[in-house]
Amino acid sequence: MPKIVVLSEYCKGCMFCAEACPKKVIGSSGSANAKGYQYAAALNPDDCIGCAICATVCPDAAIEVYK
Ligand code: SF4
Ligand code: SF4
């Protein structure tokens, strides 16, 4: 099953990934990283299809996709 890993310390919380994900997998983790940004997380990880759109749109290369 594909999955994503959010590198929380690189994330700036813009949520471009959440808006772009066709399966609505991603949302805010509700937690802040060391820089104070509310980083993204896979809230519905079982719905991920591994399309990597989230990683493509992330301006900070904060998402890795494993297929
Ligand atoms: S790989 Fe595709 S389905 Fe999975 S979280 Fe990213 S955009 Fe969503
Ligand atoms: S697009 Fe990247 S920087 Fe923006 S919320 Fe998603 S993981 Fe974080």
For 14-47, what is each residue's pLDDT tens digit? 999 999 999 999 999 999 999 999 999 999 999 9
Residues whose beta carbon lies within 6 Å of some atom of ligand 1: 4, 21, 23, 25-26, 48-54, 65
Rounded Cα distance between 65 and 50, Å, is 7
DSSP letter (8 states) at residue 22: T
Q: Which domains occur in the chain, in start order?
A: 3-66 (3.30.70.20)
Give yes or no for a contact between 1 and 57, defined as CB atoms under 8 angstroms apart: no
Task: Please give the pLDDT value at position 50.
Answer: 98
- Binned at pLDDT 50, 70 and 90, residue 6 comes out as very high
Tell me which residue of 3, 8, 1, 2 sits closest to 61, measured CA to CA. 8
Ligand 2: centre distance to CA 52 (Å): 13
| Close Cβ partners of 46 (under 8 Å, ≥ 6 residues apart) | 1
**Amino acid (one-letter) located at 57:** V
Q: How many Å lie between the centroid of ligand 2 and the Cα of residue 41?
A: 9
Q: Say which ligand is closest to the CA of 24.
A: 1
pTM metric for this prediction: 0.96
